[in-house]
C-alpha cells in the first residue's frame, strides 16, 4: 500500500490527478479536474480540464499515420477509394476480419482489421474522430495508458464483431474509437468533470444511433469496442482506488482484458 508523500505513515489509494503523487484525505483538494495535492492545487493557472498533462498526443498521430499508410497500400493494391466494394487488394484480403479466416489460423486479423478501411470517407470519419479523442485523452492519461485503452478497445471490437456476425468482412478503427469514447466518460468522472457538460455523452448517443440505423455498419464491433474501452478505463482509473492496486498491476490487468478479447475471438470464430 502506498503512503502519502507528505505523511509517510498514512496509507492511501488516491493519487494527485496532476503529478500522480499519493495523497491522504488531509492533503486532497477537490478541483474541476479531480483531486490535487496542495502544490498542484495552488497552480490554478495550469489547470486545463482533461488536458492536465503537457505531453503531445504522439501515439494518436502514429495510429493515424498507420491507418493512412495502410489505406494507401490498399489503394495501390487495387481497392476502391469509394468503398463501393470490399476486396480488390491483397492487403485488404489478408488483413480484414472474418470468422472462418480466424478459425483457419489467421489470428492477426483481430488486430490488423482495425487499421484497414473500406473507402476514403470511412477512413476520413474515423481518423477525424481518433484525432479529436486522442488529443483529448492521450495528454491527460499518458501514452502507455492511452495505448492500453485503444488496443483493448480495438480487440474487444473484433470480438464483438465476430460474436454478432462472424461471416461478414469487417474493417475499421471504429472499435478502438468507440472504446476511447467510453474511456473519456470514465476519466472525466474520475477527475470530477461532468461528461454530459463536455458533449461526449451526446457524441456517444449520436454514434450509437448511427450504428443501429445505418446499414453496413458493424454493430458488434462498435458495441464491443465501447464496452472494452469502458472496462479498460475502469481498471486503469477506478480499480486502483477501489481495490488499492498499484498502477503497474492495473496496467497488467488491463492488458489481460485485451488478451481475453483475443482468446474470445478465436473461440467464437472456431
Is 174 part of the annotated catalytic residue set? yes
Could you give the C-alpha distances from 228 to 156, 217, 255, in angstroms and in order?
A: 5, 18, 11
Cell numbers standing for residue 121: 470517407
What does the alpha-carbon distance between residue 105 and residue 262 come to, in Å, rounded to a whole number? 12
In DSSP notation, 182-243 reads: HHHHHHHHHTT--HHHHTHHHHHHHHHHHHHHSTT--HHHHHHHHHHHHHHHIIIIIHHHHT
Closest CA to 129 of 182, 94, 174: 174
Residue 143 bears catalytic tag:
no
List 31's β-bridge partners, or say none.
34
Question: Per 3-state DSSP, what percentage of the chain is helix, strand, and coil (rounded to 5)?
Answer: 65, 5, 30
CA–CA distance, 89 with 108 (Å, rounded to integer): 17
Q: Of these residues, 52, 89, 122, 222, which one is catalytic?
A: 222
Given the residues 174, 198, 215, 218, the one annotated as active site: 174
Judged by phi (left if over 0) then psi (alpha if -120 to 50, else beta), residue 34 lies in left
Tell me the sheet residues that pair with 3.
11
Instruction: Provide the 3-class DSSP secondary structure of residue 11.
Output: strand
State the DSSP H helix or E strand holding residue 121, giving kind and residue range, or none if neither: helix 120-141
Nearest to 6 by CA among 29, 28, 23, 25: 23
Which residues are marked as active site?
174, 222
Amino acid at each position: 500500500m502506498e503512503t502519502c508523500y507528505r505523511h509517510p505513515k498514512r496509507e492511501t489509494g488516491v493519487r494527485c490527478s496532476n503529478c500522480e503523487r499519493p495523497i491522504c484525505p488531509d492533503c486532497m483538494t477537490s478541483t474541476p479536474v479531480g483531486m490535487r495535492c496542495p502544490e498542484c492545487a495552488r497552480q490554478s493557472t495550469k489547470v486545463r480540464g482533461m488536458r492536465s498533462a503537457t505531453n503531445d498526443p504522439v501515439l494518436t498521430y502514429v495510429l493515424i499515420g498507420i491507418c493512412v499508410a495502410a489505406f494507401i497500400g490498399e489503394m495501390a493494391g487495387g481497392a476502391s477509394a469509394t468503398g463501393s466494394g470490399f476486396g480488390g487488394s491483397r492487403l485488404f484480403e489478408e488483413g480484414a476480419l472474418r470468422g472462418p479466416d480466424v478459425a483457419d489460423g489467421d489470428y492477426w486479423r483481430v488486430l490488423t482489421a482495425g487499421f484497414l478501411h473500406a473507402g476514403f470517407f470511412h477512413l476520413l470519419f474515423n481518423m477525424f474522430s481518433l484525432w479529436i479523442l486522442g488529443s483529448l485523452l492521450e495528454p491527460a492519461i499518458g501514452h502507455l495508458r492511452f495505448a492500453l485503452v485503444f488496443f483493448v478497445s480495438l480487440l474487444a471490437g473484433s470480438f464483438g464483431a465476430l460474436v454478432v456476425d462472424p461471416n461478414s468482412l469487417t474493417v475499421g478503427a471504429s472499435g478502438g474509437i468507440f472504446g476511447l469514447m467510453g474511456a473519456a466518460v470514465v476519466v472525466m468522472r474520475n477527475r470530477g468533470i461532468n461528461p454530459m457538460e463536455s458533449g461526449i455523452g451526446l457524441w456517444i448517443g449520436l454514434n450509437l444511433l448511427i450504428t443501429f440505423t445505418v446499414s453496413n455498419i458493424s454493430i458488434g464491433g462498435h458495441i464491443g469496442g465501447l464496452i472494452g474501452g469502458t472496462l479498460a478505463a475502469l481498471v486503469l482509473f477506478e480499480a486502483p482506488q477501489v481495490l488499492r492496486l498499484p498502477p503497474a498491476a492495473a496496467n497488467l490487468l488491463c492488458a489481460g482484458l485485451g488478451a481475453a478479447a483475443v482468446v474470445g475471438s478465436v473461440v467464437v470464430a472456431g
